[in-house]
Amino acid sequence: MRTATWNVNSVNARLPTVLAWLEAAQPDVVGFQEIKCVDEKFPREAFESLGYNVETHGQKTYNGVALLSKYPMSEVVRGLPGEDQSGVEAEGVHSRYIEALIECPRPVRVGCLYLPNGNPVESPKFAYKLGWMERLEAHARALLAQEEAFTLCGDYNVIPTPEDAKDPKAWVNDALFQPESRAAFRALRYLGLSEAGELGKQPPGTFTFWDYQAGAWQRDHGIRIDFHLLSPQAADRFRGVETHRDARDMEKPSDHVPVVVELED
């Protein structure tokens, strides 16, 4: 089973590009982040025509996540459990998490997340980011207690190590690279979750994001912030990982690229 994560940076603005990638890559399950639309405006029919079931947790203009699956989905959860229901960037609740049990022959639970950016560090947004990561850790603990195969995939908005940036010095004042953000990511890993890039021995420089500005893509000034974290039961089924760098060179691309993990059926 091939499961992908991709921050599409507005699904409607980039629909032809997203559909072209799906038809070429043929993932079984996809988690989208930053769909940037309410549920009613999500282009459901376009994805259903490719054989996908669709579940969304949308938000107007900002954030928003979605799950697509060629298998039935059940036990759908919208919103990170324990969320305090208060945002600092927009009115109401941020739509940043969706989860479902994928009803394939050997079921896998998939959580798709868009972790808060947290900038600027001096603002309440950074505290919101760290609080969100605490809630994610608590939820991961609860999932691990069920002893089932699951993956928490998405845009983590964390640069875990200096090797995950082409120019680490450029990020020292950014929320993505703060010691607190990196420590929270390590704490999540230390629960017993395996990172797919490490399992697949992806080399340094396997970036997943390049800013639109300052020629970052052309100069390969990227960072790695999109991850699949696998439970032990999912890691036992791990067969490979692919970072689809070429998607950044497609027409009207997202600033992120898809990361695809293959699990044994």
Q: Which long-range contacts (CB under 8 A, 24 or more apart) does 216-219 make?
A: 217/248, 217/249, 219/166
Strands 150-155 and 226-230: antiparallel
The catalytic position among 52, 71, 97, 114 is 114
Helices assigned H by DSSP within the chain: 15-25, 44-48, 124-145, 179-190, 196-199, 232-235
Is 155 one of the annotated active-site residues of the chain? yes
Is 190 one of the annotated active-site residues of the chain? no
Based on its alpha-carbon atoms, the radius of gyration of the chain, rounded to whole angstroms, reads 17
Strands 108-114 and 97-102: antiparallel
Output the DSSP codes for 131-158: HHHHHHHHHHHHHHHTT--EEEEEE---
The catalytic position among 28, 155, 164, 174 is 155
Neighbours of 195 (CB within 10 A): 18
Active site residues: 114, 155
